[in-house]
Amino acid sequence: MTAPARATTAHTTLTERLRTRIEHTVPQGQALPDRQPAYVRSWVYVFGVLTLSAFLVVLVSGAILAVGGLTWWHTSSVGHFVNSLHLWSVEIFFATMVIHLWGKFWMAAWRGGRGLTWVTGVLLFLASIGTAFTGYLSQTNFDSEWISTQAKDGLNAVGIGAFFNVLNPGQMLLWHVVLLPFVVGLITVWHVVLVRRHGVVPPIDAVAPGETVPGDAPDLSTASQEEARP
Smaller CB separation from other proteins, 18 or 98: 98
Beta-carbon contacts of residue 204 (< 8 Å; ≥ 6 apart): 107, 108, 111, 214, 215
Q: Where are the alpha helices (DSSP H) in 107-179?
A: 115-137, 142-157, 169-174
219 closest CA partner among 200, 205, 203, 198: 198
Smaller CB separation from other proteins, 193 or 207: 207
> Of residues 59, 99, 179, 193, which one binds other proteins by CB under 8 A?
99
**What region does 123 belong to: left with phi over 0, alpha with psi -120 to 50, or beta?**
alpha
Q: Using CB under 8 A, which residues numbered 142 to 201 contact other proteins?
A: 142
According to the binding rule CB under 8 A, does residue 81 interact with other proteins?
Answer: no
C-alpha–C-alpha distance, residues 36 and 49, integer Å: 14
Minimum gap (Å) between residue 190 Cβ and other proteins: 26
C-alpha–C-alpha distance, residues 61 and 82, integer Å: 6
> Of residues 19, 56, 66, 102, which one binds other proteins by CB under 8 A?
102
> Of residues 13, 14, 15, 43, which one binds other proteins by CB under 8 A?
43
According to the binding rule CB under 8 A, does residue 95 interact with other proteins?
Answer: yes
According to the binding rule CB under 8 A, does residue 47 interact with other proteins?
Answer: yes
C-alpha–C-alpha distance, residues 170 and 121, integer Å: 29
Binding region for other proteins (CB under 8 A) out of 6-14, 75-83, 92-100, 183-191: 92-100
Contacts to other proteins by CB under 8 A: 41-44, 46-47, 91, 95, 98-99, 102-103, 142, 225, 228-229
